[in-house]
Structure 1
Amino acid sequence: MDVDEAFRVVGEFGPFQKRAVFVLSLTQVYMACQSMLMVLVGFTPQYRVEQQEAVPSDQLALSPRVVFAEDVDSIVTEWLLVRQQAYKVGLAGSLFFAGLLVGNVVFGPLSDRIGRRPVYLTGLFFEVLFGYMTAFAPSYEVFALSRLLVGLMNGGIGLVCFVLVQEYVGRSYWAMTGTLTSMCFAVGIALFGALGYLVQPWRSLATTANSSGVLFFLLSVTLPESPRWLYCRGEAERAEEVLRRMALGNGNGKAGSSLKLHRIVVANAATSNSPTRKGAGLTQLVVHPILRRRTMVLMYVWYACSLVYYGLTLGAGDSTGSRYVNVAMYGLVELPAYPLCIYFINKHWAGRRKSMSSFLCLAGSACLCTMFIPNSTAVTSLALLGKLLVSAAFNIAYVYTAELYPTAIRNAGLGLCSMACRVGGILAPFVPSMRALHSSMPFTVFCLGGLSAGCLGLLLPETLNSPAPETLEELGSPAHSRMLESKPLLYDGENRKFAHK
């Protein structure tokens, strides 16, 4: 039997898998706290600069003294990151997202080569270690370096964690477990807001938020290697051992004892993973006319989604009202987005393209409306609405992008889109600071990003109920192009073929 058949025997989502998915989902809560840390520890209270009184006559210039309006303990008040030094707050946040970009690029291929479990555990261990480096940083320079290293580990284990959640369960549960990790990340943002209210000194907050990673690491040590990865590597015996362990955990010990996976040959693995093949895949994204157009549009859509999503989230601490409540609300408001997008993308009158573009345009419109409403409560409400809408668009973009690329080149396409996404994340921390130019500038940037990406998204073809292309030849065939340009297809079970509705 193959792996999918084996999962049906041992249980696709039994007690063993539920415990494993629960542990990995808890890790998303920890990762969310690390992602949101700068929102609270980098808070800048109102301040004024005063000149000190009499100083020795031989001193050439008077030393300025910064007086803060609030008794707040943050990196801004400790290292006086104001005026000409204010850019360092956004820089530390951008370094974190730069680390995410590099982590995605490095950890993905590494986990394909040496395994999901060792890469995940190693990355989580070092993220906790660098997290403590953040909490006890003696200077801004060490703090900024630690944020880069934490981001590197966070981006890497985030990718591997998502893959493990999928590969521990049967295929029929992939959509559910994938959505669950995103929901737990949103819950983590909300919990971080509550934690920030209870633990306000920034070093204590960083230490407390990071200490949860120690618990999650200890729980993760018991997780097995991915049986799907072992099977694809030709290690059928080890895959059988993991599946038997799952069977015992699911109460199917007798069924697990009869497991026998087919032997597979991986002689071509080195060739398929070679730099030449990977380079050829990336080249096709530029050379192939259909792929080039799709990739350019999708990269901008992912960039805009990330810019608006993280820009609104990281700006929560600067919004009117309690910054702790704002952070919590910006996390909780995401939760309704996931059932919303699942509902719309499966309706023939909406589909993937229209749903994603509509959510992006509505998110941009919500940000636009904030510029014409003087009421601060209404502005915050519209910003929260924008966060909900862009969260839905972001979730759809993951599903839609995978369907637009042929199987032969899907990983390369997703990789480029993910890189564009991280560029948006790198720029996002600087957008809230644009309030210094004009109070409406951040929302203007988010408005333009959402509206432009929504309009560009309409240039893409619909994929709802359409069979995904497997090869580049299928993608370029006139029949496949006409199929995507026309109405959605429905599967005719009697005649065993797709037909237009």
Structure 2
Amino acid sequence: MDVEKAFQVVGNFGRYQASSFVCLASIQFFLALQMVQIMFIGAKPDVTTTSRGIMQPVGMVTIVTEWKLYDKMWTVDLVQSIFMFGVLMGNLLIGQLSDKFGRKSVLYKVFGMLIFTSFLTTFANNYKILAAIRYFVGVFQGGTVLVSFVLAQELLGSSVWTITGNIMPALFAVGIAALAGLASIFTNWHDLCLVTSLPGILPLLGLIFVPESPRWLYSQGKVSEAENTLQYMARKNGVPQTVCSSIILRHSVKKKAVTYTIRDLFTSRQIAVRTIVMGYLWFVCSFAYYGLTMAAGDLSPNLYTSVALSGLVELPSYVISMFLIDRNWAGRRKTLAGTLLFCGVACVAIMFVHVNEDTGTSTAKLVLGLLGKLAISASFAIVYIYASELFPTVIRNVGMGTSSVCARVGGMLAPYIPSLKKFAAPLPFVIFGLVSLIAGFISFALPETLNQPIPDTIDDVIKNENIKTNATQDDTTHLLHDTDAV
């Protein structure tokens, strides 16, 4: 049997896999605390002037108030861009390491370093040191984001990927809302950095009990190890021993393990199209997602409320996307296109909304901004699931890593877009809207993956698309014959 059929024996989501998934999914909560932390530690609070003419911050102590960066707010955007550049490098380098050395072994080391470097953030004493530390936080963050998602999915049967693929970003959204709550309590940025570095310890300990991906083992020619892992998982799930012993994977001629690189993403037309289109879609999802998150402070006068709502509004988006992408009349492609187009329309519509001249906000602007965030959140969740199904196992991490690199380019640019409001208040939202509209239309260039077999090799992709092409040609030929007969 192949690996996918083996999961039907092991269980697509047995109790052992469920505990492993909880551990891996909880990492997303920690990742959210780090990803948008700069919104609070780099905030520019209101100030009052004492009788001696000294400016004092009201309510918050941030890097801006401590290091007197009131006239150098560009340094805050720079720190976040450097962090995102680190995330980009982590996606690019660590993704390939996990393809070569294994998902679990790489994840355990990288996530441990993420916790350590995020803890070091607490002790930065100027923005240059902070930027350097945040770069390494970004590197380990980027690796953790990618490998934890891939490992979580590869430990499960593909039939539950839709559900689990939406649960993980939902926990990320809860993390954003929790960050707003923590920031309202720990108003000194040193304290906030400290308390947001500690929650990662629990899932790190839990990783000890998470197995290596049997899909990765099999793709590397380690068939016996893959069988042992699957049989172990089956026993832990309560499958009878006699059934466990029946899990025998199909052996092929033993080959030397092959290391795949970015170049393999362009070895065939089918894979190249998926790589290029996915690259732009991930760029847009990250660009608009983090841009709208960073611009949340412009939707409401209260920063904590705005960020909390920006996180919580994501939760219904995952329920909606989870419902739609498994429907034959919607699927992955149409749902992705629809959410991107909806985000584009909502953001562009903000330019026609009347706002309060003093605060620059209004209820209509808040609603449209949150609707845009809801839609782009759904899109971001879908591209993770979609990409994991489009790229075959042998290059899944490379493909998703490359797509994620494109996303991080979007994340690097996103912090600078909200500052364009000085030219026209709705301009940032219009930019996010236009790129989303374009992405919505080009997503139709991808094939639908709903109810299709998950490819293991590049040849599987080519073979599957040739079958579809031949089927389409046969249908056309039959239609022509029928027309001639009439």
Once the two structures are superposed, the pairs formed by residues 419-498 of structure 1 within 5 Å of their partners are 419-458=405-444, 470-472=460-462, 475=465, 479=469
Change (3 A) 1:266 1:177: farther
1:308 aligns with 2:288: yes
Q: In the TM superposition, what is the alpha-carbon distance from 1:282 to its structure 2 partner? A: 3.7
Q: Is the 8 A contact 2:107 2:144 kept in 1?
A: yes
Once the two structures are superposed, the pairs formed by residues 47-62 of structure 1 within 5 Å of their partners are none
* Structure 1 residue identity aligned to 2:287: L
Q: In the TM superposition, what is the alpha-carbon distance from 1:398 to its structure 2 partner? A: 3.6
Once the two structures are superposed, the pairs formed by residues 142-157 of structure 1 within 5 Å of their partners are 142-157=129-144
Equivalent of residue 58 in structure 2, options 58, 70, 75:
70
Between 414-423 and 237-246, the greater mean CA deviation after superposition:
237-246
Once the two structures are superposed, the pairs formed by residues 155-234 of structure 1 within 5 Å of their partners are 155-234=142-221
1:326 aligns with 2:314: no
Matches of 2:271 and 2:226 in 1, distance apart?
A: 36
In structure 1, the residue matched to 2:67 is: 79
Q: In the TM superposition, what is the alpha-carbon distance from 1:385 to its structure 2 partner? A: 0.6
Change (3 A) 1:95 1:266: farther
Q: In the TM superposition, what is the alpha-carbon distance from 1:407 to its structure 2 partner? A: 8.1
Q: Is the 8 A contact 1:303 1:420 kept in 2?
A: yes
Q: Is the 8 A contact 1:319 1:380 kept in 2?
A: yes
Change (3 A) 1:139 1:300: same
SS in 1 for 2:199: helix
SS in 2 for 1:320: coil
Matches of 2:170 and 2:244 in 1, distance apart?
A: 36
Change (3 A) 1:399 1:177: closer
Q: In the TM superposition, what is the alpha-carbon distance from 1:131 to its structure 2 partner? A: 0.5
Q: In the TM superposition, what is the alpha-carbon distance from 1:478 to its structure 2 partner? A: 9.7
Matches of 1:88 and 1:321 in 2, distance apart?
A: 23
Between 219-228 and 33-42, the greater mean CA deviation after superposition:
219-228
Once the two structures are superposed, the pairs formed by residues 110-121 of structure 1 within 5 Å of their partners are 110-121=97-108
* Structure 1 residue identity aligned to 2:376: V
Deviations 1:417-468 (A, max 9, x none): 3322111111111112223333222212212222232233355566666788
Equivalent of residue 366 in structure 2, options 372, 380, 384:
380
Matches of 2:108 and 2:396 in 1, distance apart?
A: 27
Q: In the TM superposition, what is the alpha-carbon distance from 1:312 to its structure 2 partner? A: 0.7
Matches of 1:396 and 1:106 in 2, distance apart?
A: 24
Percent identical pairs in the alignment equals 38
Deviations 1:156-193 (A, max 9, x none): 11111112212222333232222221221122112222
* Structure 1 residue identity aligned to 2:144: I
Matches of 1:185 and 1:416 in 2, distance apart?
A: 21
Matches of 2:316 and 2:342 in 1, distance apart?
A: 16
Q: In the TM superposition, what is the alpha-carbon distance from 1:224 to its structure 2 partner? A: 2.6
Matches of 1:465 and 1:243 in 2, distance apart?
A: 23
* Structure 2 residue identity aligned to 1:187: V
* Structure 2 residue identity aligned to 1:82: Y
In structure 2, the residue matched to 1:99 is: 86
State the TM-score, normalized to the length of structure 1: 0.82
Deviations 1:272-292 (A, max 9, x none): 3266xx52x24446xx4x766
Aligned residues: 466
In structure 2, the residue matched to 1:367 is: 347
* Structure 2 residue identity aligned to 1:441: L
SS in 1 for 2:172: helix
Q: In the TM superposition, what is the alpha-carbon distance from 1:220 to its structure 2 partner? A: 2.0
Q: In the TM superposition, what is the alpha-carbon distance from 1:243 to its structure 2 partner? A: 3.9
* Structure 2 residue identity aligned to 1:72: M
SS in 2 for 1:158: helix
Q: Is the 8 A contact 1:363 1:385 kept in 2?
A: yes
* Structure 1 residue identity aligned to 2:343: A
Matches of 1:330 and 1:483 in 2, distance apart?
A: 47
Q: Is the 8 A contact 1:461 1:485 kept in 2?
A: no
1:299 aligns with 2:279: yes
Matches of 1:485 and 1:327 in 2, distance apart?
A: 52
Between 14-23 and 410-419, the greater mean CA deviation after superposition:
410-419
Matches of 1:255 and 1:6 in 2, distance apart?
A: 14
Q: In the TM superposition, what is the alpha-carbon distance from 1:71 to its structure 2 partner? A: 3.5
Change (3 A) 1:254 1:356: closer
Matches of 2:230 and 2:325 in 1, distance apart?
A: 34
* Structure 1 residue identity aligned to 2:432: F
